[in-house]
Amino acid sequence: MVFNSLEFLFFFLTVYAAYRLLPFRSQNLLLLAASYVFYGWWDIQLLYLILLTTSVDFSCALLIGRGQMTRSERLTPSLALIGAAFFAGTVNWQAVSWQSFSVDWPNLLPGNWTSWLLLGGTFIAVAIANLLYPRLVEAPVERRKKLLLLLSIITNLGILCIFKYFNFFAGSAEAVLNAAGFSLPALSLNLLLPIGISFYTFETMSYTIDVFKGRMQPTHQFSVFALFLAFFPRLVAGPIVRSIDLIPQFSQPRHLRFDQSMRGLYLIMFGLFKKVAIADGLAGSVNAIYNSSGAVSWLDVVVATLLFTFQIYCDFSGYSDIARGVSKFFGIELTVNFNLPYFSKSPSEFWRRWHISLSSWLRDYLYISLGGNRQGNLRTYQNLMLTMALGGLWHGAAWNYVIWGIYQGGLLCIYRLLNLQTTENPAERSQFKRGAGVSLTLLFFILTCYGWLLFRANSLAQITSFTQILVTDIGNLSLSMPKPTLPALFGLPLLIFYEFLEFQAQSAHFYYRYSALIRGVLYAIFTLLITMGTSNAPAQFIYFQF
- Give the DSSP per-residue string, 273-338: IIIIIIIHHHHHHHHHHHT--S---HHHHHHHHHHHHHHHHHHHHHHHHHHHHHHHHTT-PPPP--
Contacts of 82 by beta carbon, 8 Å cutoff, 6+ apart: 119, 122, 123, 126
Cα(204)–Cα(155) distance, integer angstroms: 11
Query: Given 3-state DSSP classes, what are the helix, strand and coil percentages for the chain, each rounded to the nearest 5?
Result: 70, 0, 25
Which of 220, 255, 355, 395 is catalytic? The answer is 395
> Would you say 312 and 542 are in contact if contact means Cβ atoms under 8 Å apart?
yes
What are the Cα distances from residue 466, in Å, to 295, 302, 303, 441? 10, 9, 12, 24
Q: How many residues can be counted in the chain?
A: 546
Handedness of CA 536, 539, 543, 544 (dihedral sign): positive
**Beta carbons within 10 angstroms of residue 178's beta carbon:** 11
Type of residue at 510: F
In angstroms, rounded to a whole number, what is the distance separating the alpha carbons of residues 109 and 107? 5
Task: Compute the distance between CA of residue 242 and CA of residue 228 in angstroms, rounded to an integer.
Answer: 9
Q: Are strands 96-97 and 102-103 parallel, antiparallel or unpaired?
A: antiparallel
SS3 of residue 509 by DSSP: coil
Q: Cα(492)–Cα(471) distance, rounded to whole angstroms? A: 28
Q: How many CA atoms lie within 13 A of 92 on its CB side?
A: 15
* C-alpha to C-alpha distance for 456 and 71, rounded to whole angstroms: 50
Helix (H) or strand (E) run with residue 103 in it: strand 102-103
| Nearest partner of 336 among 348, 313, 322, 320, judged by Cα | 320
Give 45's DSSP letter.
T
Judge whether 38 and 235 are in contact, CB under 8 Å: yes
CB atoms within 10 A of CB 256: 13
Is residue 255 among the annotated active site residues?
no
For 219: left if phi > 0, alpha if psi spans -120 to 50, otherwise beta; the answer is beta
Q: Are 227 and 31 in contact (CB under 8 A)?
A: yes
- State how far the Cα of 521 lies from the Cα of 503, in Å rounded to an integer: 21
Active-site positions?
395
